[in-house]
Structure 1
């Protein structure tokens, strides 16, 4: 009996190995990761959690859709500088409401560059950097200027200067950086900007004094009302005196 058990042991081991290999190979393989979906600027900003106003402006101006289309079809990529909700709250009251719809579009386009930039790229880029607003206003520059060193990058518009903070996304084809101030272009908010609409002149009716009218009448050679009445009185007195003189002779 011991001999039979010893000869069956290798057989049991062989059958166990075959069974285990069958179970392992029968398990379904893990699916391979599919291709990444299209980049969506709104989804990136919503994940950040502090860009409600910027998202609303991207939607109302339709620039958000333009970014999604261009960034997923362009080889250059894009870079977006996203102002926080606090940045918009720090604007002077009524700043956005005073802008025309076209100026609102240009303001949002000013926060988008038609090229992908890393933070290191921004430190070495040639200023000014063009934006999506460049050339829309009669060929105006609408550019951004970048300075800094190390890990700190500053952006200047000619009106304001602020720091380019952490990146919400920095992978091609889209880079999204946080800015703590709304980027106000000098072409729209600079001191040299002159309104094309001149204020309507205020109509005033200057009061004309009697003295001025009398002086003007004298200058024009027209007898004034006062001088005319005086002459009438003098003539009436002369005639009355002549009548009285005749009555004396008759009596």
Structure 2
């Protein structure tokens, strides 16, 4: 009896530990689908369009997947940007498992998709209609008026309760006009200045034109382009160098530092862990960026100061343009972030002559004057000149807190389970 109880306790301990570990580690949709060869085409397009990064960066999400046969109606027949929009419509921003599908209130509901968040979906084209049909079937279709429920739920592929659910459907969900949207081109990118001006980045747009760097941007479109455009207010901020004192080559490097020769939408930046090369990266200097996140925000780090991704001006595979709230200053041009300067030493004024010399009997005993207190330096002795700024240090502390919190929760749960083994 005791051994049976101990075995049950051990089983409970193992299951609890696995549950905790799965919660901490999150999900990887590429890995999930790689276990099923029948979704290889769908999985490949998730990677090509960077939708996999967006899915991995979110929680409470449902992915409607297509097997290779169903995916053939999209694969190779449309530009990558069009395929991305179509697949974005299959990413539901809510959790649906088979049980929930059959318990929809009043039998039908509209749910938001990732396509709705792109800004490319007019009206309610970014919503999907889910309807519990007769005979145990569940139908899916565009929320646009008059749209049919052309897709049907087939089976459950994978679920991590309330985190991610992967469901197979038998056909794509096609919203009106989603397959006929024009693909971005190098010629279309020539209007980047117009897009930037409307987004409040006139200074940056003018610099791109006068420096000739716009042509460099256009030349990278085919393999991908990501632009970080500082707002006009960012150029007026305190600490931004006088650009008129830079050489032409330095201006070019600065502007090239604000772009990547790859398509890296927000979801990819949120999951990024490595230093990112920019258009300015060459043998003479790294000119790279690192990223961190704070909630849903993405923060870029140059080594001098952070800059936050503010808005998305446009996102059409393989081109994405963001606005940022600070000019990105590379250390290769402007040096590293300086350590706080020490406080100046106090300057002693001349001692005034006494009005009357005291007699020897009245003269006080001589007392050695105390030396002035040393200046207080907030930075630790020997701090490197590239010490993180206060905001960057705060991010590091926050990250450490989250890790510690997760570790603490894990420790408590494991301890409770282990204790049960001893009872």
Judged with a 3 Å threshold, the aligned counterparts in structure 2 of structure 1 residues 57 and 91 are, in CA distance, closer, same or farther, namely: farther
The CA RMSD measured in Å over matched residues stands at 2.4
Q: Match of 1:22?
A: none
- When structure 1 is superposed on structure 2, of 76-85 and 88-97 the one drifting more is 88-97
Question: What residue number does 2:211 align with?
Answer: 61
Moved more, 108-117 or 120-129: 120-129
Inter-partner Cα distance in structure 1 for 2:267 and 2:208:
27
Q: Are the aligned partners of 1:123 and 1:149 in contact in 2 as well (CA < 8 Å)?
A: no
Residue segments in structure 2 that go unaligned for 5+ positions in a row: 1-178, 339-423
Q: Distance in 2 between matches of 1:158 and 1:170?
A: 27
Q: What is the TM-score normalised by the length of structure 2?
A: 0.35
Correspondence for 2:292: 147
- The TM-score, its normalising length taken from structure 1, stands at 0.57
How many residues were matched structurally? 156
For residue 291 of structure 2, give the secondary structure of its aligned residue in structure 1.
strand
Instruction: Measure the CA separation in 2 of the matches of 1:161 and 1:171.
Output: 26
Equivalent position of 2:256 in the other structure: 109
Q: For the residues of structure 2 that align with 1:182 and 1:37, how far apart are their CA atoms? A: 27
Q: Which has the higher contact order (CA 8 A, sep 6+)?
A: 1
In the superposition, relative to structure 1, how do residues 163 and 191 fare at CA in structure 2: closer, same or farther (>3 Å)? closer
- Greater fraction strand: 2
CA distance in 2, matches of 1:148, 1:177: 16
Task: Output aligned runs, 1:1-251, within 5 Å.
Answer: 35-36=182-183, 38=185, 39-40=188-189, 41-48=192-199, 50-71=200-221, 74=222, 76-92=223-239, 95-135=242-282, 138-191=283-336
**1:126–1:53: structure 2 CA closer, same or farther, 3 Å change rule?**
same
| Larger gyration radius, structure 1 or structure 2 | 1
Once residues 178 and 94 of structure 1 are traced to their aligned partners in structure 2, the CA distance between those partners, rounded to angstroms, is 19
Q: Please list every run of 5 or more consecutive structure 1 residues that lacks an aligned counterpart in the other structure.
A: 1-31, 194-251
Higher helix share: 1
Deviation digits for residues 68-93 of structure 1 (CA, Å, limit 9, x no counterpart): 2321xx2x311000000111111547
